[in-house]
Amino acid sequence: MINMKTTYDKGVFIESNNMRILLDPVGIPSKKPDIVLLSHAHSDHARGIWQRQLSNIPKVMSPATRKILEKRKGKSLRNTIEIREGCELDYKDLRIYAASSGHCTGSLQFKLTVKDTDIAYSGDICLEERIILNKAEQLNCDVLILEATYGKPEYVFPKRSNLYRNILKWCKNSIEIFNKVFICCRTLGTAQELTTLLSLSILADPIFTHPAITKINEVHEEFHHRLGRFISYHNTNDIEGVMLVPLNNVFKRNNFNTGVTTGWVIKSKRPGRFPLSSHADFQQLLTYAKNSNAEKIYTVYGFSNSLAREIKERLGIDAQSIK
């Protein structure tokens, strides 16, 4: 295995074989990277991508991720290299393989090969098949950098098929009582999944989507596939049926006709709370870690200390948190 150093410095920072690789920048690292890789467009992974100091550095991402970033910002990103799921590219002594991550529209994992060493970076991953995205590919590697958003044993989610059934049941009952229901969901992630789930059901036609969600749905349809029938709304008073609103849109969150979908509600007993997440749960993260055959695992984001400890104790693999 090559000599390499992995740290967190405004993004995951890898130094090896005279190459500096910055993954998912959120600011400007102390050393200048040779190349930047972006796994997906969520701001906790991508907000550094527009930094002027990174403008001349090549930036690798999927075409859909680029489109989402540019649509939000209203301008073009310079020096990008587009890579699609299942493709490889060479940059100097580095080979980059882009794999499915199952997390959101345009999201990728990366396998980086430097000399004889394979380094996998998961970005954010979902290890369950969803109606809109393939699940994350299981990567094999020498070194794994693994997300730890739900890296605590209490975060184990119900099966997706059960969650789908429960969400539809709750919507049906709530529409009968209230005439219209709101579902709070991640604008980039569960919103696309719910658009399709609800479109496929006969509960409501069309589905109404918040303009921020409509924007992402359109990118999803351009690069992946059709999501179903949805219409952008502006005035929530005028409509009947189901409306999807961003998770941070708290205006109706405590009403009885408002559902909330995120992994963080796993312990909630309130009706209308569904732990539908775009992330792997604790058990899935452990399975991924084990099947990667990595000799060394770095954990990052969320409960990274907890996950590193559990990987060491339960799997006997050398693991360490970097953030």
The number of residues that bind Zn ion (CB under 5 A) is 2
Asked whether 135 and 102 are in contact (CB, 8 A), the reply is yes
Per-residue burial over 17-51, b = 16 or more CB atoms within 10 Å of its CB, e = otherwise: eebbbbbbbbebbeeebbbbbbbbbbeebbbbbeb
| Smallest distance from Zn ion to CB 28, Å | 21
DSSP state of 198: H
Give the C-alpha separation, 27 to 244, whole Å: 31
**For Zn ion, what does the binding mask look like between residues 73 and 112, x meaning CB under 5 A?**
----------------------------------------
Q: Which stretch binds Zn ion (CB under 5 A): 49-57, 120-128, 160-168, 178-186?
A: 120-128
Would you call 156 helix, strand, or coil by DSSP? coil
| Between 42 and 130, CB nearer to Zn ion | 42
Q: Is 124 in the site for Zn ion (CB under 5 A)?
A: yes
Going through the chain in order, the beta strands assigned E by DSSP cover: 4-8, 12-16, 19-23, 35-37, 59-61, 80-82, 88-91, 94-100, 108-114, 117-121, 143-147, 180-185, 207-209, 230-232, 241-246, 258-261, 273-274, 296-300, 318-321
Which helix (H) or strand (E) is 221 found in, with range? helix 211-223
| Smallest distance from Zn ion to CB 300, Å | 12
| Between 190 and 199, CB nearer to Zn ion | 190
Q: Which stretch binds Zn ion (CB under 5 A): 122-130, 132-140, 233-241, 265-273?
A: 122-130
Asked whether 63 and 106 are in contact (CB, 8 A), the reply is yes
Q: Is 128 in the site for Zn ion (CB under 5 A)?
A: no
| Between 40 and 203, CB nearer to Zn ion | 40
Q: Is 66 in the site for Zn ion (CB under 5 A)?
A: no
| Smallest distance from Zn ion to CB 298, Å | 18
Q: Is 67 in the site for Zn ion (CB under 5 A)?
A: no
| Smallest distance from Zn ion to CB 220, Å | 15
> Exposed, middle or buried, 185 (CB in 10 Å: 0-12/13-18/19+)?
buried
| Between 42 and 210, CB nearer to Zn ion | 42
| Smallest distance from Zn ion to CB 45, Å | 6
Among 42, 66, 67, 186, binds Zn ion (CB under 5 A): 42
| Between 62 and 199, CB nearer to Zn ion | 62
Q: Is 186 in the site for Zn ion (CB under 5 A)?
A: no
CA nearest to 198, candidates 165, 223, 221: 165
| Smallest distance from Zn ion to CB 25, Å | 14
ω into residue 25 within 30 of 0, thus cis? no
Q: Which stretch binds Zn ion (CB under 5 A): 13-21, 64-72, 109-117, 118-126?
A: 118-126
Give the footprint of Zn ion on this chain (CB under 5 A): 42, 124
